[in-house]
A = this chain, B = another copy of it.
Amino acid sequence: MKNKEKHFNNRDVQDVIEIIGGRWRGAILASLCDKEKRFNELKRDLGSITPRTLIKELKYLEMNQLISRKVEDTKALSVIYSLTKHGKSLEPLIGTIVSWGQLHRKVILG
């Protein structure tokens, strides 16, 4: 193996950042790592997100096969969002993100 190749391809990084980036996508996924949640449950957990934004991001994540949307067969409207199997493969990455964030805070503050 010639030593010309870099370990990391910029494009790979950009692709992933597009998927989990932005103000909400990472947080939505992290919230769903905890457990599956209903629309308003997610909304409350995320705090200040508007329904317009939340639904838009949920659709994006669904399109990318990271979460699934299931309408419960009950009289009252109830929709459950959960990580797909593929979405669950993100858990270690999110874990790494969270730990680095904690390290970073220590470095910056102290």
Contact = CB atoms under 8 A, between A and B. Distances in A.
A31 B45 CA distance: 35
Nearest to A27: B10
Main secondary structure on A side of the interface with B:
helix
Contacts of A107: 65, 86
Nearest to A32: B8
Given A8-B33, A31-B10, A19 B96 contact: no
A51 interface: no
Contact of A26 (B17, B90, B101): B17
Interface of A: 6-17, 19-24, 26-27, 29-31, 33-34, 45-47, 64-65, 86, 89-90, 92-98, 100-105, 107-108
